[in-house]
Structures are given as structure tokens and as C-alpha cells.
Structure 1
Amino acid sequence: MELLQIMGCSPPLARRPLDTEQAEGVARVFKALGDPVRLRILSIVASHAGGEVCVCDINDAFDLSQPTISHHLKVLKDVGLLTSERRASWVYYRTVPDRLAELSALLAAPAEVVG
């Protein structure tokens, strides 16, 4: 299930507990981001000028095999954080802004909880 469907209009964690389905879905996203390589990949894509990155540039940033990088990219796509588009022999990756915003909103603490 996609993060958008899991989280929907869920308020921040500090306002209302997640139900079981929401918690399982969000946990999959955090599990994907719990790997340092995947976290770096997401950071590379999110911060790249133009908003997209060729897989060749992602491969060049790591001392890992291409199949390993492809696996990490698939995990990030499966949890809805990245999308891709094939152009000729290369694949270009972009973040999914709505998913990142939902994750950010989920973690945002309301003003009355901060402090």
C-alpha cells in the first residue's frame, strides 16, 4: 500500500496514535530509510539540481555494484519515495514530493507538544 493511502490525512504522531495498518506502512518507509546507502541515495536525488538524477550518477557516488544500487533504488521506489523514467538506455530518478511532505507532516510535533 502506498504511503499516501497509509497516512492519508493522518495528524502528527503527537496528536493521535497510528492504527495498525498505518504503523505497518510507515514502518516499511522507516525501514527503507534505515539503511545508510538508501538514505544517501534519497539525499542525492532530493538535492540534485534539476530535481532528477541519472542512475549512472548514483552508481558513481558509491563503491557498490550496479545490481546492489538497483536493489536499493527498487526498495525506495517500492515504499513510494522515488519514481523513475527510462530514457534510451538510462533511468532517471526523482523524489515523490507528496510522500516526503507526508512523512515530514507525520513527524511534525504540534506547538503544544514542543518544549
Structure 2
Amino acid sequence: MASTVVHEHDADPCCAGATSALLPIDEATLLAVTFKALADPTRVRLLRYLAESAAGTACACHLPEALGISQPTLSFHMNKLHDAGLVLREKRGRWVHWTVRPESLASVRGFLDLPASADADCC
């Protein structure tokens, strides 16, 4: 006869559903990559600048001056954002134009829109 293992937290109503609230590992990994890419103030500023640009895209030729950074610093940070899937790059002649991938931020928006705890006094 198979025995059922009962964990202490399973009987505690405070912890009911706690394990069902865990993200799947693949989703958590993707979010961690995104948060890691955004863990730098320059990259946050770059992403915001691109998102708010009138044309929906910005040329790399304008970004260093607008943000007060050098071209090599821009390249480093934009590559981090690109590797995380947050921006697209399109080569136009000599320059690269960058665009935010809005769909890449959907999981972040969903994650940050956490429901308020029903019982904040619990535990």
C-alpha cells in the first residue's frame, strides 16, 4: 500500500496553494534573463528612450549623445538588451536602428502585476 507523504505546510491553511503559485522553471529562467538585462540603469534608460521615441525606432548615431555615453558603451549595452530579446536591430546603411520588442515585455508585465495577498497578516 502506497503511503502519502504529508508535509507540515500542506496542513497549514496559510500555505495552501503555495506550490501551485511557483512559476515553471523555463518561464522563471526567461524572466531572470530579462531582469538581468534590465539590472543596469543605462539599459533601463536606453529601453525607455527607445520605447518613447516618436518613430518607434532610434538610430545608434543619436543614442550616445542623448544618453551621455560613448559609442562602445552603447554597443555593449544594446547587445545585452538584444541578447535578452528586448530589442531588434536593423542595419540601415552604416548605422543600426534599434526598436523595442513590446511582446518581450509582456511576461514582465504579467509577473509584476502580482495579485495582492488576500491575507497579508498570514504567517
Answer with 1 or 2: which has the greater Rg.
2
1:75 and 2:80 correspond: yes
2:38·2:44 contact (CA, 8 Å) conserved in 1?
yes
Which of 16, 19, 22 is matched with 2:24 structurally? 19
Aligned partners of 2:105 and 2:28: how far apart in 1?
Answer: 17
TM-fit CA distance, 1:34: 1.1
Aligned partners of 2:117 and 2:45: how far apart in 1?
Answer: 33
Unaligned runs of 5+ in 1: 1-14
CA RMSD of superposed structures (Å): 1.9
TM-score by length of 2: 0.72
Percent identity of paired positions between Structure 1 and Structure 2: 38
Aligned length: 100
Structure 1 residue runs of 4 or more that deviate by more than 3 Å after TM superposition: 110-113
If asked which structure has higher relative contact order (CA below 8 Å, sep 6+), I would say: 1
2:57·2:99 contact (CA, 8 Å) conserved in 1?
yes
Structure 1 residues 19-62: Cα deviation after superposition (integer angstroms, max 9, x where no partner): 33322221111111110000000000000001000111111123
TM-fit CA distance, 1:17: 1.3
TM-score by length of 1: 0.77
The aligned counterpart of 2:104 is: 99
Code of the aligned partner of 1:49: A
1:44 and 2:49 correspond: yes
